[in-house]
Chain A
Amino acid sequence: MLKGRNLIDTMDFSIEELEEIFELSNQIISNPEEFSNLCRGKLLATLFYEPSTRTRLSFEAAMLRLGGEVIGFSEPNSSSVSKGESIADTVKTIACYADIMAMRHPKEGAPQVAAEYSPVPVINAGDGGHQHPTQTLTDLLTIKTTKGKLSNLTIGLCGDLKFGRTVHSLIKAMSRYENNKFILISPQELKIPEYLKKKLEKDQIYFREIEKLDEVIGELDILYMTRVQKERFFNEEDYIRLKDSYILDEEKMNKASKDMIVLHPLPRVNEISYAIDNDPRAYYFKQVKYGMYVRMALIAKLLGVK
């Protein structure tokens, strides 16, 4: 049962529980007005210890569209946190006001501490470079809704696979479903971490590591793009050599299947050309909307109102 639970890591929920959330999300997508009073009288607290306008607005929009209300802070200097208050004390206080909270914190494990001390559900809205489970739920819902399934897919992940937490989380989540294949497209310096590679090998999950996107794009059902940042490279020559391999443009899209979908956790800089935005296969802005819907379903389930 999801009522009263916390979401700190996507792996906290079973496949069946994730399915419950996706099913409710789809009901909300088909008829949002039906759910517009579901959380009337309930309060969500957004505790954002570092700025993240996109995620915070998504949570706030989700709660407001459920008929609930929102309180919170969006940077620590405006609260008693700047006086050195511990997370444990902060959440015990906030739990006196709110029915559920979403926390974004620069330190890894902070939402887990919050969950240990909070009598109300805690949602991890991102902790440092560690986890961002609602982004993964967003990615999964988008894939499920557009492809009709989460198994038997060939998923290309492209760009920064070493530091990208959404990449690691998506790989781990999609590995739980049958017969998914991963094509990992990145420069040598930004390949997936060793622990994740070992996990895929141990679980006998098919994956390939490739450096050039245009060599494999034709095989993909899903292309998950991430930004390749110059500062991650050890030398400038490698960056210059490789940077354009990871820009998705019309030329590369012409080699892709007509059924492939393009996702990106956003914000994007130049890794997806603006010319792609009108391609029907570009799903990264629809993905944003799915993010709001999946957060609506998540909040409703954790509060036990549906």
Chain B
Amino acid sequence: MLTINSIKNGVVIDHIKSGQGIKIFNYLGLDKVDYSVALIMNVESNKLGRKDIIKIENNLELDFAVLGFLDPNITIDKIQNETIIGKVKLRLPDKVENVVNCNNPRCITSIERNISHTFYLVDEKTGAYRCKYCDEIYKVSDIQIK
């Protein structure tokens, strides 16, 4: 059985949909850091069936809003002296910039260089986002992280 030790001080990103952990790991640039990190994949979960977990031995300030967009079911535990001192429940951010691209081939973002790919939240319940330029609607569940 796979065991990873608890961290002393840092952050645990839990309840990541199985398979998405590596994308979030790379999105946060954790493959390039000099402190200890662990990416645990495909573990059993009561809530999700299977899940990924990331443990980070560092009190870095994460862009929580974006993590909410990448996977709104994620929970974030702040750890100090091996104790959970705070839990952050994510909600979908109102605006997302340069995380995913607009897939509409009729959108100007498909040809214009040096342009941000920006989406605005239109419905928190359904996770629907609107492209800033072409108004195309996307559901969070359909979006593929770059």
Which bracket fits the contact residues of B?
10 to 19
B129-146 interface bits toward A, Cβ cutoff 8 Å, 1 = contact, 0 = none: 001111101000000000
A97-115 interface bits toward B, Cβ cutoff 8 Å, 1 = contact, 0 = none: 0000000011111101100
Docked-complex contact B133 and A108, CB < 8 angstroms = yes
Let me know if A88 is at the binding interface, CB within 8 A: yes
A108-148 interface bits toward B, Cβ cutoff 8 Å, 1 = contact, 0 = none: 11101100000000000001111000000000000000000
**CA gap between A169 and B65 in the complex, in Å:** 33
Interface hit among B33-41, B48-56, B85-93, B110-118: B110-118
Which A residues touch B110, using CB under 8 A?
107
A270-298 interface bits toward B, Cβ cutoff 8 Å, 1 = contact, 0 = none: 00000000000000000000000000000
Which A residues touch B112, using CB under 8 A?
86-88, 107, 110, 113
Which B residues touch A234, using CB under 8 A?
none
Work out how many contacts link A and B, with CB atoms closer than 8 A: 47
**CA gap between A88 and B113 in the complex, in Å:** 9
Q: Which single member of B108, B113, B137 contacts A109 (CB below 8 Å)? A: B108
Which A residues touch B135, using CB under 8 A?
108, 130
Query: Closest residue to B136 on the A side, CB-wise?
Result: A108
Docked-complex contact B134 and A130, CB < 8 angstroms = yes
Which B residues touch A130, using CB under 8 A?
106, 134-135
Query: Closest residue to A110 on the B side, CB-wise?
Result: B108
Docked-complex contact B106 and A86, CB < 8 angstroms = no
* Known A128-B106, A129-B106; contact A109-B133, beta-carbon cutoff 8 A: yes
* Known A87-B108, A105-B108, A107-B108; contact A112-B133, beta-carbon cutoff 8 A: yes
Which residues of chain B (103-125) have a CB below 8 Å from chain A?
A: 104, 106-115
User: Please, could you name 26 A-B residue pairs with CB atoms under 8 Å apart, sorted by A?
Assistant: A86-B112, A86-B113, A86-B114, A87-B108, A87-B112, A88-B115, A107-B107, A107-B108, A107-B110, A107-B112, A108-B106, A108-B134, A108-B135, A109-B109, A109-B131, A109-B132, A110-B108, A112-B108, A112-B133, A113-B108, A113-B112, A113-B115, A113-B133, A129-B106, A130-B135, A195-B137
Q: B residues engaging A (CB < 8 A)?
A: 104, 106-115, 131-135, 137
